[in-house]
Structure 1
Amino acid sequence: MVRANHNRLRALGGAVGLFAVAASAHAADLPSVKEPSPAPVVDSFQPFFVKLGFTYALNTSSSRLWGQSPTALLQGVTTAFPAGVGATLTDVATIGFEAGFYVTHNISVDVSAAIPFYIKDKTKGYNPANPVLFSGTTLAQIMPAIVPITVLYHFDNFGPIRPYIGGGIGVGWSFDNKNAFLNDVHVSSSLGPVIQGGVDYMFDRNWGLSLDVKKAFNYVQSYANGVNLPVVGPFPAKTYQHTNFDPWLFSIGLVYRFGGGEPLLAKY
């Protein structure tokens, strides 16, 4: 009896072994399944760009004035005193442009400029004497220029929308100065920090719409060698003006990217 059970167990074990071998052979005959290949990425990177559009300079500037009093000068006193009023610059609308290149896919170096126009340097406040100055008196007309040079980081995980932020320096000077209440006006050059932010919306690999804002912080010193007094006329008196030239620069326009050749399959 025991021997018969032992023979049956040996037969059952052999059958199981044969089934395992057959299953292995069948599995070896089946085609292997590969992981799907990732979709190819088209690299349409264009390293150079230019922007052209409308720029509005909101001049949130403020100035401190000192001057030699004509009355005191006639008495031989040449010391310059606070003028009793401040000054500010008017806003200006112009055509702005910007150019630059991408050092990497996300970091660019930008240079901005605009067509210069004359703006008015006006008094802010009222001084009743030596000389009389009413608020809003035009001291001079100047043609300022500021050229921001910035480094920007562009975020590229929003599809065609590419916001950016960064900063740099702004170089400022005046192309020309016209007399008004002041004569023989001189404006020094300046250098100060600039912060910048904005967004590019790309229609395709080359063309897009750009919205941009910059804030400049420049300190400017200027002086004049004379004043135009009512009735008296031109009078030699030194006037000094220290200005915190801190405009907001708002721009909207087209952006064109180029220089990358035809799109290629990305290698990364």
Structure 2
Amino acid sequence: MKKQLIVIAALAALGMGVVQAQETPWLVRARAVNLDMTNKDSTGLGLTVDNKTIPEVDVSYFFTPNIAAELILTVPQKQTVSSNGTSIGTFKHLPPTLLMQYHFTGLNGYKPYVGAGINYTDISKVNLLGGVATLDKDSWGGALQVGVDIPLDKNWSINFDVKKVYIRTHVYAGGVNAGTLKLDPLLVGAGVGYRF
């Protein structure tokens, strides 16, 4: 009985050690991000969506020192749609993105990373040509990422980040599918991070 208790205690202690070794901090970042639309339009209407700078917040959880998951959030963004340079209306979109990342370590304090994942974009409040044209209600697509954290101290860091997000929607005119508008934005951002 004593041997069994000793074995159980040893396994419990070992398990606690593994949990402690794998405990990883949270990382929260705030960025300013320039949203640069690709604007590939198959409708023949010369459709484009404007570029803009948006606020972005992300939350990362590190499963190991190298592997992390990152959830990227912002507030609903209002975008202007133009046809051959003339504004034809607006819509709003909310594009949360979930990425799995690999973080490189041991590089003189610099912490570069790469990521890949999925984007879901909710499209709402579409007002094109006074309601004559509309868009899909949402979009699913992939996302790719590369970036670097530059630590300032134990908790704070500066962050530079580039993402390619695949967002597309069908365009409907009078209820008829007129083609596809691929936004596929490139997002270039800079900000600060806090690790805890």
Which TM-score tier does this pair reach, normalised by the shorter chain? 0.7 to 0.9
Residue equivalent to 1:10: none
Describe the superposition over 1:152-200 as per-residue Cα deviations: whole angstroms up to 9, x where unpaired: 1111111321000121111112132224465363433111111100000
Question: Quick one: which of 224, 247, 257 aligns to 2:195?
Answer: 257
1:185/1:222 contact within 8 Å kept = yes
Equivalents in 2 of 1:101, 1:58: separation in Å? 28
When the two structures are superposed, what TM-score results if normalisation uses the length of structure 1?
Answer: 0.60
Are 2:53 and 1:115 equivalent residues in the alignment?
no
Q: Higher Cα Rg: structure 1 or 2?
A: 1
C-alpha displacement at 1:203, in angstroms? 1.0
Q: Which runs of 5+ in 1 are unaligned?
A: 1-42, 66-83, 124-134, 226-236, 259-268
Does the CA contact (< 8 Å) of 2:97 and 2:118 recur in 1?
A: yes
Question: What amino acid sits opposite 2:27 in the alignment?
Answer: F
Aligned-residue Cα RMSD (Å) equals 2.1
TM-score of the pair, normalised by structure 2: 0.80
Question: Counterpart of 2:32?
Answer: 54
2:55 to 92, 95, 113: 95
In 1, Cα distance between equivalents of 2:179 and 2:79? 16
**How many correspondences in the alignment?**
175
Structure 1 residues 3-82: aligned runs within 5 Å: 46-65=24-43
**Contact 1:141 1:180 (8 Å CA) reproduced:** no
Tell me if the contact between 1:52 and 1:95 (Cα under 8 Å) persists in the aligned partners. Answer: yes
Residue deviations 1:216-238 (CA, integer Å, cap 9, x gap) = 1233223244xxxxxxxxxxx75
* Ranges in structure 2 where 5+ consecutive residues have no aligned partner: 1-20
Distance 1:247 1:186 in 2: 17
Identity value in percent:
24
Q: Distance in 2 between matches of 1:195 and 1:167?
A: 5
Assess if the C-alpha contact under 8 Å between 2:31 and 2:189 holds in 1.
yes
Match of 1:105 among 65, 68, 71: 65
Q: Which residue of structure 2 aligns with residue 189 of structure 1?
A: 138
